[in-house]
Chain A
Amino acid sequence: MKKNISILISILFFTTIGFAQTADEILDKVDKNMSAENRIIESSMIIHGKRNSRTMTSISYSVGDKQSFTEYLSPAREAGTKMLKLENQLWIYSPSTDRTIQISGHMLRQSVMGSDLSYEDMMDDRKLKDVYSSTVIGAEEIEGRKTHVLELTAKVENVSYHSRKLWVDADYFVPMKEELFAKSGQLLKQTTLSNIKKIEGRWFPTKMVYKDMLKQGDGTEFIINDIKFNQKIPEYIFTKAALKQ
């Protein structure tokens, strides 16, 4: 879950509302919409398996882009499971075993709970602007809405996806769709964002669908049930000790 959130966050962070035509300006505007000093999100993740679909709900707290804490609320099996991300470290706590397990190394590349996201996807929280250089490559209409189409190309080395294509709503400055590409240009993943709502003065997509394009299946949905910005989040929540509480 947490990784979903991270991805989401990373995307959100970098999309701000704006009217400028340069890519950077567009990204800045997107950022304004999507990122905040801190946030509390209650969300549902729907994973479409080959056989059935599953919904998990969670609440997650984050401060900046380095700290985040997620607690799963349902289903019963997952309830109470907590995930803590600090910088690039990730721990998961499970109440049934009273254990805190560090997820590291190769495990980070594994898919999270059969979703179309990997732990690493969840972990990567760098701002798009820091990682990619962007250019506007056109304008398209998606579901009746005008969008700016941005092409992002990695400017640093350690990225999972060499390039991305971002469709940003021309009015709300919220991304509507994103495609992630391999170095060769092969499409690997696709994200669609929808149900844009105005929350605390910003536009925010409340539904996202992630899809691994090389895998069969219907992708993973991420729905924000409630989101609050600029809340007071106690520091101790981002400690390993808090996992056990």
Chain B
Amino acid sequence: MLALKLAFKNLLGAGLRTWLNVSILSFAFVLIIFYNGLLDGWNRQGIKDTKEWEIGEGQFWHPEYDELDPFTIQDAHAPLSEKIQKLVNENKLTPILISEATAYPQGRMRSVVLKGIDPKQTISKIPSAGLETTEKGTFAIIGKRMAEATKLKEGDNMLVRWRDKNGTYDAREIQIAAIFKCNVPPVDNGQIYVSLDVLQEMTNMPNEATLLVTSKDFEGGELENWAFKDLDFLLKDFHALISAKKGGASIMQIVLLVLALLAIFDTQVLSIFRRQKEIGTYIAMGMTRFQVVGIFTVEGGAHSILAAIVGAAYGIPLFIYLDKVGITFGTPDMGITISETIYPYYSVQLIIMSLLLVVISATIVSYLPARKISKMKPTDALKGKLQ
């Protein structure tokens, strides 16, 4: 406690130099938290969006289904059992039927995936309600990316050819009822959504589905003949991306920290050089060298505490502001789930970890030059003779 008190006295006594160091360190501190917060925010939003749009609280797949292998789609469908139907009616599951198809927008040819979705479902954010219509014809909704890729507008027609359960070709004009905007590329790219019963009729697969999306109300449990894919599985690539981004961020953090620590180190070296007499005096007054090293170490390390305070002073308002307005990234189509606007998320854990990181490293870097003190001869120190 004494050492800490002395440290702050000394630091504040040093004036400008201290504040320079503190400002750099606080900058590193705020930036580290900000960047990680940004990634956490992205992560949370990405997961939230993916869950809301695509995967719910996990999906049940037909055992044959493999989302990466379009060839499996042909065989991956099964009728909904009574139990499942009941869960669907309770809004705990929503079935999706998938069929491969070829679309001929503007005379070109393009492989697409037809997805049948219940217009009444509320589990996915896909605006399936737009498929509910009394008009004659087959209506579909597509995402913005798909619309751009196929140059289709609302109201446009497109010929789609597919094969039904038995492999019989069928083709018809499908009208785009609506175009939706979604942050989750797999929900958009190459996907055409039609009403579930329409696709069931088109493919001659009454009451069948390829996968079932669970809602928050789903209590868990197995469904016979369906394979449950949990969130970890479904979000694997996304998690990997985020953890990779964090890896990338760690370099930045290290460099920023090194920068700030460089300033502290430099200050320490000089203050030990300039304050030899003070060191001698401490010893003359009966402090052990170890105690003196301690004072200087704590003094250097205390930069980090001041930095945390200063950082908090401008960081907290900044973070609150950013949390309100978010950070807009435009709408990059990177094949990655990323919101147009990311709201950074600062967890207590993140803040504590960053604080610890900064404090511990600042203390270590302060200790290094302070070790020199223990080798000083007090008589020389008193004279200020050391070089």
A–B interface present (Cβ within 8 A)? yes
A188 close to B (CB within 8 Å): yes
B169 near A182 (CB under 8 angstroms)? yes
B104 near A159 (CB under 8 angstroms)? no
A161 close to B (CB within 8 Å): yes
Task: Report the Cα distance A106→B66, complex, angstroms.
Answer: 14
| Residues 156 to 194 of chain B near chain A (Cβ within 8 Å) | 159, 161, 163-172
CB distance from B2 to the nearest CB of A (A): 78
For A188, the chain B residues whose CB sits under 8 A away are 161, 169, 171
Most buried by A among B107, B170, B172: B170
| Residues 26 to 76 of chain B near chain A (Cβ within 8 Å) | 71, 74
B71 near A157 (CB under 8 angstroms)? no
For B309, the chain A residues whose CB sits under 8 A away are none
* Given A183-B164, A215-B109, A160 and B169 contact (CB-CB distance below 8 Å): yes
* Given A186-B159, A186-B161, A159 and B109 contact (CB-CB distance below 8 Å): no
For B170, the chain A residues whose CB sits under 8 A away are 162, 182-184, 186
For A184, the chain B residues whose CB sits under 8 A away are 170-172
Q: Which of A106, A154, A214 sits near B71, CB closer than 8 Å?
A: A106
For B104, the chain A residues whose CB sits under 8 A away are 214
A52 close to B (CB within 8 Å): no
A96 close to B (CB within 8 Å): no
| Residues 145 to 188 of chain A near chain B (Cβ within 8 Å) | 154, 157-162, 180, 182-184, 186, 188
A216 close to B (CB within 8 Å): yes
* Given A106-B74, A182-B161, A214-B109, A154 and B171 contact (CB-CB distance below 8 Å): no
Task: Report the Cα distance A236→B172, complex, angstroms.
Answer: 46
For B168, the chain A residues whose CB sits under 8 A away are 154, 157-162, 182-183
B169 near A183 (CB under 8 angstroms)? yes
CB distance from B240 to the nearest CB of A (A): 29
| Residues 87 to 104 of chain A near chain B (Cβ within 8 Å) | none
For A186, the chain B residues whose CB sits under 8 A away are 159, 161, 170-172
CB distance from A238 to the nearest CB of B (A): 25
Task: Report the Cα distance A57→B108, complex, angstroms.
Answer: 31
Which single residue of chain A is at the shortest CB-CB distance from B104? A214
For B167, the chain A residues whose CB sits under 8 A away are 109, 120, 158-160
Task: Report the Cα distance A60→B170, complex, angstroms.
Answer: 32
Which single residue of chain A is at the shortest CB-CB distance from B169? A182
Task: Report the Cα distance A161→B167, complex, angstroms.
Answer: 8
Task: Report the Cα distance A106→B168, complex, angstroms.
Answer: 14
Task: Report the Cα distance A188→B159, complex, angstroms.
Answer: 12
Which single residue of chain A is at the shortest CB-CB distance from B69? A106
For A138, the chain B residues whose CB sits under 8 A away are none
CB distance from A199 to the nearest CB of B (A): 33
| Residues 98 to 114 of chain B near chain A (Cβ within 8 Å) | 102, 104, 107, 109
For B164, the chain A residues whose CB sits under 8 A away are 183
A105 close to B (CB within 8 Å): yes
CB distance from A46 to the nearest CB of B (A): 22
Task: Report the Cα distance A120→B172, complex, angstroms.
Answer: 22
Which single residue of chain A is at the shortest CB-CB distance from B102? A214
For B172, the chain A residues whose CB sits under 8 A away are 182, 184, 186
B163 near A160 (CB under 8 angstroms)? yes
Nearest first, the 8 closest Cβ-Cβ pairs linking A and B are: A186-B171, A106-B71, A183-B170, A182-B171, A157-B166, A158-B166, A184-B172, A182-B170
19 A-B pairs within 8 Å (CB atoms) are namely A106-B74, A109-B167, A157-B165, A158-B166, A158-B167, A160-B163, A160-B169, A161-B169, A162-B168, A162-B170, A180-B169, A183-B164, A183-B168, A184-B170, A186-B170, A186-B172, A214-B104, A214-B171, A215-B109
Interface residues of A (CB under 8 A from B): 105-106, 109, 120, 154, 157-162, 180, 182-184, 186, 188, 214-216
